[in-house]
Amino acid sequence: MAKVFRSPARHGYAVEVSPFIPNRVACAAAQYYGIAGCGTLLVLDETETGICLVRSWEWSDGLFDVGWSEANEHVLVAGGGDGSLQLWDTANHSGPLRAAKEHTQEWDPTLSPSLTTLRGHESVIYSTIWSPHIPGCFASASGDGTLRVWDVKSAACRLAIPAHKAEVLSCDWCKYDQNILATGSVDCSVCVWDLRNVRQPVNRLLGHTYAVRRVKFSPFSKTVLASCSYDFTVRFWDYSRNQPLLDTVEHHSEFVCGLDLNLHIPNQVVDCSWDETVKIYTPVCLSDGAHSTAP
């Protein structure tokens, strides 16, 4: 049974669980489905009985992504539709700590607004993810259909994978293997890639009927991942199986845009949707213990 938080007139685009506080979640949302109006950053706590609002802030444009700092438990970064990045402090009741408007992929708020600009993609970049294994390495997914792996020290693209024949909206790194990444695309598929051999995916996961908005690997099982889609569903997969689809969760009435798996609580999932809700739950396919530990 999911716990539900409703944010009237705010349509969810991204959620992320705090890396420090097990029951704390941030959600980036927008008015009018992100087409017009302002944005709202929500900080929520799961309680025994439900989900409560800790704090919220308004921004002048829609907010479409959010991430917690891994160095400071109170600090968040949010991405706005006006091209801005804002740093927010949950211990500070006023506005953002800092806002910058830079077309960059690296930004250190304690230094100059832009550390460096890395170029190579030929269209909009929808998703980036730091490698949890290799310092100074990150991946990016783009509307040009490619997944690219970058090296910050040399400011160069180390690998460009023609991952899909459509826009790639999301990518994530396996927590247990530095060579494994997943991509989600407008072509309705999730592909799992091994960087040692990128001629074809390790597995192509089919089942979604509309674009895949986000993919996330499990922090507790090497081969399990989740995806959410504009088809209103969240799907759970084990890419090592011949029949990889574990379960389909249909508990939203609009696009599901945000998805995360809790690093602290095994098999707990958080998602958000255009239906104005954030939901926290443990899917049956993961709670049976079959996928609770990494190999």
pLDDT, one tens digit per residue, over 175-184 is 999 999 999 9
* Structural domains counted in the chain: 2
Same domain, 82 and 181: no
What are the pLDDT digits (tens) for 58-117? Answer: 999 999 999 999 899 999 999 999 888 888 898 876 666 555 554 334 445 555 455 678
Question: Within a domain: residue 12?
Answer: yes
pTM: 0.92
Question: Within a domain: residue 62?
Answer: yes
Question: Within a domain: residue 272?
Answer: no
Q: Assess whether pLDDT exceeds 60 at residue 128.
A: yes
Q: How far apart are CA 103 and CA 222, in angstroms?
A: 34
What are the pLDDT digits (tens) for 151-186? Answer: 988 889 999 999 999 999 999 999 999 999 999 999
Q: What is the 3-state secondary structure (H, E, C) of 85-107?
A: EEEEECCCCCCCCEEECCCCCEC
Q: How far apart are CA 59 and CA 101, in angstroms?
A: 14
Same domain, 179 and 79: no
Q: Which among 116, 134, 80, 73 is positioned nearest to 263, based on CA atoms? A: 73
Q: Assess whether pLDDT exceeds 90 at residue 294.
A: no
What are the pLDDT digits (tens) for 195-254? Answer: 999 999 999 999 999 999 999 999 999 999 999 999 999 999 999 999 999 999 999 999
Q: How far apart are CA 18 and CA 195, in angstroms?
A: 29
Q: Which among 205, 203, 160 is positioned nearest to 187, based on CA atoms? A: 205
pLDDT at residue 27, rounded to an integer: 98
Let me know: does 261 contact 249? Beta carbons within 8 Å. Answer: no
pLDDT at residue 83, rounded to an integer: 84
Q: Which three-class secondary structure state does DSSP give residue 197? A: strand
What are the pLDDT digits (tens) for 25-53? Answer: 999 999 999 999 999 999 999 999 999 99
Q: Domain end: 77, 103, 129, which one?
A: 103
pLDDT at residue 73, rounded to an integer: 94
Concatenating the DSSP letter of every residue in 235-271 gives EEEETTSSS-EEEEE---SS-EEEEEE-SSSTT-EEE
Q: Domain end: 236, 253, 270, which one?
A: 253
Residues 6+ apart with CB under 8 A from 223: 238, 239, 240, 241, 295
Q: How far apart are CA 259 and CA 213, in angstroms?
A: 9
pLDDT at residue 104, rounded to an integer: 37
pLDDT at residue 102, rounded to an integer: 44
Q: Which domain holds residue 142?
A: 118-253
Same domain, 31 and 132: no
Q: How far apart are CA 218 and CA 235, in angstroms?
A: 12
Same domain, 235 and 139: yes
Same domain, 64 and 167: no
